[in-house]
């Protein structure tokens, strides 16, 4: 498995936090975040697209937000999208695969709590 490290030696990844309670967090490494999104898409999740980070227009005045899930800058996955993501992952829980079932279940529970930020 490819592991990506920052210049200071930390394993890079995505820190997700609930919009309603930022103290509730979940973390995926860079490679696992893309795998979990693909896993969900293969099971019927249709990405709605994220809401731009609050500082997007100030930092990128000439660019329109494209709704991606991997910018890692505070984009928001809306509650309905998060719940659909959870449902798609839940539908694949019984399949054998490379994912840890306990971790998938914890992520499903996280998503079911509502909108979250991707940092």
Which residue carries 């936090």 as its tokens? 17
Instruction: State the pLDDT at residue 3.
Output: 40
Record the tokens describing residue 26, joined without a space: 């979940």
- Where exactly are the structural domains of the chain? 31-54+67-118
Do the bridges between strand 75-77 and strand 25-29 make them parallel or antiparallel, or are there none, so unpaired? unpaired
Report the predicted TM-score, pTM, of the whole model to 2 decimal places.
Answer: 0.87
In order along the chain (119 residues), what is the average pLDDT of each group of 10 residues?
Answer: 42 89 92 93 97 83 88 94 98 87 94 97
Other C-beta atoms closer than 10 Å to the C-beta of 98 total 8
CA dist., res. 39 & res. 41, Å (int) = 6
SS3 of 108, please? helix
Please report the pLDDT score of residue 10 as a whole number.
53
Predicted pLDDT at 95 = 86
């Amino acid at each position: 498995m490819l592991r990506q490290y920052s210049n200071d030696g930390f394993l890079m990844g995505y820190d997700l936090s609930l919009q309603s309670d930022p103290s509730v967090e979940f973390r995926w490494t860079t490679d696992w975040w893309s795998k979990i999104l693909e896993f969900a898409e293969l099971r019927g999740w249709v990405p709605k697209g994220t809401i731009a980070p609050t500082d997007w227009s100030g930092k990128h005045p000439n660019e329109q937000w494209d709704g991606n899930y991997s910018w890692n800058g505070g984009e928001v996955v809306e509650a309905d999208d998060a719940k659909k993501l959870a449902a798609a992952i839940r539908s694949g829980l019984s399949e054998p695969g490379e994912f840890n079932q306990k971790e998938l279940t914890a992520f499903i529970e996280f998503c079911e709590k509502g909108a979250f930020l991707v940092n």
